[in-house]
C-alpha cells in the first residue's frame, strides 16, 4: 500500500514509519523539519516531504497525490493539554487538511485520538461510552472525530479513530514522568519529588502502540473508534518503582510533593476487546 504518514518525526510517528516499512508498505513521510527527519534511521527508505500541513495555501493533492491510506499523527504543542490553541488552531487546521485529502480522492483514513476525550470517567473505558472532555486538547480531538464522522456521511470514505492512552519509550516528551526521573538520575540527584503516585493509568510502550496503530489501520475493514492501550492499569508509583529496580538506578521517592492532576480521574484504563479481535485476525489488505 502507498501510505502517507503525517507527524512522522514525532514521538509516535518515528516508530510507526519503520513498522510500515517492515511490512512492505510504500511510505511517504511528512513533517516540518527536514534536519530532524534526516536523523531518522528510516529516512533513506521513504519519500520524505518537508512542509507545514497547516498552511491555508497548502494543496495536498499536488504535493502528496492520492495515497491508499493517510495515517494522521501530526498535532503540534503537546503535552500542553490545557492550552486553547488545540481547538483555536490545531482542530481546524487538521480538519481542513483532512477534508482536502478526502476531496482529492483519499478513501482510507486513520487519525490518532486520545483517552482524554473520555473526560473524568473512572474504571474501564469502552469505545461506545459518551465523551465528556475537560481539557482543550481532549475537546479538540473529540470535535475533530465528530467532524470526520460527518465528512464520512458525505464522502463515503473508510475511517478509523485510534484512541491512545499513556505511552513510554524513545522520543518521549521530557515532561513525562519517566523522562523526568531519568534526567534526575543523570544529574546525580538522590531524591525524586512527585505526586502521591496512587493514580492508575494504562501504559503501553510506544513500539507496541506503533504496531497496533499499523494493524488497526491496515488489517481490518472495521470502521470507527478503537482504544489503543494495554488494557490493564498500573499506578504511577509502581511504574516509577519498577524502573528503579533496574541495576544502577538508585533514587528515594518524595511522595505527595505535588498535587494530583485536576483533569484526570484517579483510576482508569481502556477496554481492548476490539483491539484483541484485530490482533487475532489474519492480515487483511485495505482495498
Going from the C-alpha of 249 to that of each of 80, 167, 169, 203, the distances in angstroms are 29, 21, 17, 21
pLDDT tens, position by position, 4-29: 999 999 999 999 999 999 999 999 99
Residues of the chain with CATH 3.40.50.720: 2-168+203-232+268-280
Closest residue by Cα to residue 229 from 210, 204, 200: 204
Query: Which superfamily is assigned to 2-168+203-232+268-280 in CATH?
Result: NAD(P)-binding Rossmann-like Domain (3.40.50.720)
Residue 277 predicted with pLDDT over 80: yes
Long-range contacts of 182-185 (CB under 8 A, 24+ apart): 184/251, 185/249, 185/250, 185/251
Looking at residue 285, what is its pLDDT? Answer: 43
Average pLDDT over residues 33-42: 97
Separation CA 118–CA 115 (nearest Å) = 6
In the chain, % of residues over pLDDT 90: 91
Residue 283 predicted with pLDDT over 70: no
Going from the C-alpha of 80 to that of each of 84, 122, 174, 175, 229, the distances in angstroms are 9, 22, 12, 10, 21
Assigned C-alpha cell, 84: 486553547
- Pairing verdict, β 233-235 and 200-205: antiparallel
Contact 67, 86 (CB under 8 A): no
Looking at residue 151, what is its pLDDT? Answer: 97
Neighbours of 145 (CB within 10 A): 19
Residue 108 predicted with pLDDT over 60: yes
Mean residue pLDDT across the chain? 95
Looking at residue 287, what is its pLDDT? Answer: 44
Average pLDDT over residues 73-89: 95
Residue 286 predicted with pLDDT over 50: no
The pLDDT confidence band at residue 282, using thresholds 50, 70 and 90, is low
Separation CA 275–CA 270 (nearest Å) = 10
Separation CA 102–CA 157 (nearest Å) = 8
In the chain, % of residues over pLDDT 70: 98
Residue 284 predicted with pLDDT over 50: no
pLDDT tens, position by position, 155-190: 999 999 999 999 999 999 898 999 999 999 999 999
Residue 113 predicted with pLDDT over 80: yes
Sign of the CA dihedral 46, 38, 86, 55? Answer: negative
pLDDT tens, position by position, 180-239: 999 999 999 999 999 999 999 999 999 999 999 999 999 999 999 999 999 999 999 999
Question: Three-state DSSP class for 171?
Answer: coil
Amino acid at each position: 500500500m502507498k501510505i502517507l504518514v503525517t507527524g512522522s518525526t514525532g514521538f509516535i510517528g518515528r516508530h510507526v514509519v519503520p513498522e510500515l516499512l517492515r511490512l512492505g508498505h510504500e511510505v511517504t513521510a511528512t513533517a516540518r523539519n527536514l534536519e530532524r527527519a534526516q536523523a531518522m534511521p528510516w529516512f533513506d527508505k521513504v519519500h520524505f516531504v518537508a512542509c507545514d500541513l497547516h498552511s491555508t495555501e497548502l494543496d495536498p493533492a499536488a504535493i502528496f497525490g492520492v495515497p491508499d491510506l493517510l495515517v494522521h499523527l501530526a498535532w503540534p504543542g503537546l503535552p500542553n493539554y490545557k492550552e486553547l490553541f488545540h481547538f483555536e488552531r490545531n482542530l481546524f487546521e487538521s480538519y481542513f487538511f483532512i477534508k482536502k485529502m478526502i476531496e482529492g480522492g483519499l478513501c482510507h483514513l486513520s487519525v490518532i485520538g486520545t483517552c482524554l476525550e473520555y473526560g473524568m470517567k473512572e474504571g474501564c473505558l469502552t469505545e461506545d461510552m459518551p465523551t465528556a472532555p475537560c481539557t482543550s486538547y481532549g475537546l479538540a480531538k473529540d470535535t475533530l472525530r465528530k467532524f470526520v464522522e460527518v465528512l464520512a456521511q458525505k464522502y463515503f470514505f473508510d475511517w478509523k479513530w485510534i484512541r491512545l492512552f499513556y505511552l513510554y519509550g524513545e522520543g518521549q516528551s521530557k515532561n513525562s514522568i519517566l523522562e523526568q526521573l531519568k534526567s534526575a538520575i543523570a544529574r546525580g540527584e538522590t531524591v525524586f519529588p512527585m505526586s502521591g503516585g496512587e493514580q492508575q493509568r494504562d501504559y503501553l510502550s510506544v513500539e507496541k502502540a506503533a504496531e497496533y496503530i499499523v494493524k488497526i489501520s491496515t488489517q481490518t475493514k472495521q470502521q470507527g473508534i478503537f482504544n489503543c492501550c494495554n488494557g490493564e492499569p498500573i499506578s504511577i508509583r509502581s511504574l516509577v518503582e519498577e524502573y528503579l529496580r533496574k541495576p544502577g538506578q538508585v533514587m528515594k521517592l518524595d511522595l505527595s510533593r505535588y498535587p494530583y492532576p485536576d483533569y484526570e480521574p484517579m483510576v482508569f484504563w481502556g477496554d481492548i476487546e476490539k483491539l484483541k479481535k484485530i490482533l487475532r485476525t489474519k492480515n487483511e489488505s485495505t482495498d
